[in-house]
Structure 1
Amino acid sequence: MKEKMEGFVTAVHRDRYEVRVDGEDFYARLKTGVYYSEERAEEFPTVGDNVELVYNPMGDSLIVKTKNRTSKFSRKDPDNGRGEQIIAANFDYVFIMMSLNFDFNLKRLERYITVSWQSGAQPVIVLTKADIAEDLEQKVEMVSRIAIGADIHPVSSITGEGMEQLKKYFEPDKTIVFLGSSGVGKSTLTNYLLGEEIMETAGIREEDSKGHHTTTHRQLFVLNNGTKIIDTPGMRELGMWIVDDGMEHSFSDITNLTMQCKYSDCTHRGEPCCAVASALENGTLTYARWKNYLKIQKESNFQAVKESRSKSREIKKTNKKMVRNSSKVNSRKEEW
């Protein structure tokens, strides 16, 4: 009888997984009958997932169950028509990493903050390359206006600036996922924390400050003290999945304004006593933030409608199958 074990996924390579069980790493594949059946009883595992598997000492083991998740980071799958793509699972902190050079982009940061709150974990803003930053204090202030409820840490892997402040997140029972565009320093920070060159790093083009994709797949590392780090490929574009809960956190200032409008169904397009319009007029709310809020809200609502329709089709498909099966059973009874 093959032995059943529990472990966690450390890397995903197409249809093959790296799994760690009691400190030992080995490869595994999904059990076809469980994950590829018509009913598909289990969620496909991702990096950070706890899984049950049947151990095979002669080759790849078989993953038979994906355990319940405490948190997950997802986005719209870059491949059209594939719906939600889950990037990582079961983490406590999301290190949203953005460099302080020409890649500095507040709109993109707002998107990352939104999906981070949606994940169920605590976002932490890590501003990298502080050693070469111009107008550092001004940029930190700009970030603080939109990173409501999140800690902000300017750091440098070159000089060590700000690294000491990050240590409080690295506890033995904690997992941290790194998010950010290519070239912001995720792999560099991973190497710094691990104390060795585990992840390949590359420079940034000076003309546009864009980095190379040195991390090509999601991977989980375990520090000497037991802290887990999930490094992810750079994502310059982040397609929104459903982020209604995340928006309540990341845009809580706008949510509070909408509740102050005179009319509960205010569209914020010219109604009298509109708190949003007043905030835009007096400058307490910028037009850039308001437009980005509307854009993210539109994307989230669109995905919610698509997901609802998809589930309705699945329910109809299941009901039809049940009717067909019932008809077959009744037909056999009549034959008997």
Structure 2
Amino acid sequence: MTSSSAFPTPSASLGLSPLAPYGWDDAWADEFVPYDAEGLVAGRVIRVDRGQCDVATADGVIRADTAFVTPHDPMRVVCTGDWVAVEPAGNPRYVKAYLPRRTAFVRSTSSERSEGQILAANIDHAVVAVSLAVELDLGRVERFLALAWESGAQPVVVLTKADLVPEAATLAHLVQDVETAAPGVPVLAVSSETGEGLDVLEAVLAGGTAVLLGQSGAGKSTLANVLLGEDVMDVQATRDMDGKGRHTTTTRNLLVLPGGGVLIDTPGLRGVGLWDAESGVGQVFSEIEEFAADCRFQDCAHVAEPGCAVLAAVDSGELPERRLESYRKLLRENQRIVAKTDARVRAEIRRDWKRKGAEGRAAMEAKRGRW
């Protein structure tokens, strides 16, 4: 059970709207005007569970039913972080609508239909927690960051358990490796044990709503407890053999931070499938796209084309080959996902296959002609 103190009722004595600590502002108030005219109550979803949700309102946290806003499209269901319009009374009380989302963190589900799953809405920062207790998987970091950029939020990488890396030079090297894989993204090494780096992280999170992401065992729940100043999230031991932990967080919970800002803690993610994240991939690998602007051919695939500036950067050492391989992998995966849901893209892929097939046959015939 989560303690009631996890969901504080903001005090009106702050001179602000009681919902201000949850992120309410003038723009949200303007969006809510039509619902206010209907006598509905504004609130923010702090937890969703099996057709019902906990909603923080000006009068405290209420339980509401989402039956009226549960469409067949999984991208349109109510999720943690949504601002909603709730009935003023009733048993049960119903969510009647949710306000248009400013941002949303979406991943692909594991279903064969390749549906998107919204993990959090209206977020300002996507905090990717990566444990230093195990070997860094830069490819996984890049995958998280592609989705984070695509969400519209500002990504932040937090390297947890920094106290397990006693040598300052080694820690600096690990931070630098992640910075190379995360251009334009702040990378912070923190320790929930010693407090290292937490003041900087608190300052970053104080400016809005953050979603905390990462694999099981990344130290998310421990980090959330430290930021909250109390043991709100359950914590379980990490296995020594592989650094993995159990799913200590089973639902997505929105929590008000004592230093300002809002934190959405999420369960550990075993799978992080891309979901229509082409621009996010481009942002993660911005240096590759900059090199690509100098390629001889506009549609260069950076494989074996003459005049490829990307391959030249790999040859010169300016671009690590691992980065190019990761870029190709994520682009291919994203293209497959989009192709399953977009007939136009499927048609473009088929045309591209036919073009490449024709070029291959022409090259083979030319080769035979020389024999």
Change (3 A) 1:77 1:107: same
Give the aligned partner of residue 189 of structure 1. Answer: 223
Question: Does the alignment pair 1:52 with 2:85?
Answer: yes
Change (3 A) 1:282 1:236: farther
Change (3 A) 1:288 1:91: same
Q: Following TM superposition, by how much is the alpha carbon of 1:82 offset from its aligned partner in structure 2, in angstroms?
A: 5.4
Give the aligned partner of residue 147 of structure 1. Answer: 182
Task: Answer whether contact 1:123 1:151 (CA < 8 A) is retained.
Answer: yes
Give the aligned partner of residue 77 of structure 1. Answer: 109
Letter in 2 for 1:54: E
Which of 290, 307, 319 is 2:341 aligned to?
307
Q: Distance in 2 between matches of 1:192 and 1:269?
A: 47
Change (3 A) 1:299 1:28: same
Q: Which runs of 5+ in 1 are unaligned?
A: 313-336
Letter in 1 for 2:200: Q
Give the aligned partner of residue 200 of structure 2. Answer: 165
Q: Distance in 2 between matches of 1:79 and 1:94?
A: 24
User: Match of 1:97, SS?
Assistant: strand
User: Match of 1:298, SS?
Assistant: helix
Number of residues of Structure 1 aligned to a counterpart in Structure 2: 306
**Structure-to-structure mapping, 1:68-147, within 5 angstroms:** 68-81=100-113, 83-133=115-165, 135-147=170-182
Give the aligned partner of residue 289 of structure 2. Answer: 255
Letter in 2 for 1:305: A
Q: Distance in 2 between matches of 1:284 and 1:49?
A: 43
Letter in 2 for 1:221: L
Q: Following TM superposition, by how much is the alpha carbon of 1:127 offset from its aligned partner in structure 2, in angstroms?
A: 0.4
TM-score, normalised to structure 2's length?
Answer: 0.78
Change (3 A) 1:85 1:103: farther
Q: Which runs of 5+ in 2 are unaligned?
A: 1-37, 347-371
Give the aligned partner of residue 210 of structure 1. Answer: 244
Change (3 A) 1:128 1:280: same
Q: Following TM superposition, by how much is the alpha carbon of 1:17 offset from its aligned partner in structure 2, in angstroms?
A: 1.0
Change (3 A) 1:309 1:271: closer
Change (3 A) 1:103 1:50: farther
Task: Answer whether contact 1:241 1:299 (CA < 8 A) is retained.
Answer: no
Change (3 A) 1:157 1:89: same
Which of 185, 188, 191 is 1:156 aligned to?
191
Structure 1 segments, 4+ long, off by >3 Å, are 309-312
Letter in 2 for 1:162: G
Task: Answer whether contact 2:109 2:117 (CA < 8 A) is retained.
Answer: yes
Question: Does the alignment pair 1:294 with 2:328?
Answer: yes
Q: Distance in 2 between matches of 1:241 and 1:141?
A: 28
Task: Answer whether contact 2:202 2:259 (CA < 8 A) is retained.
Answer: no
Question: Does the alignment pair 1:221 with 2:255?
Answer: yes
Give the aligned partner of residue 272 of structure 2. Answer: 238
Q: Following TM superposition, by how much is the alpha carbon of 1:55 offset from its aligned partner in structure 2, in angstroms?
A: 3.2
Change (3 A) 1:248 1:18: same
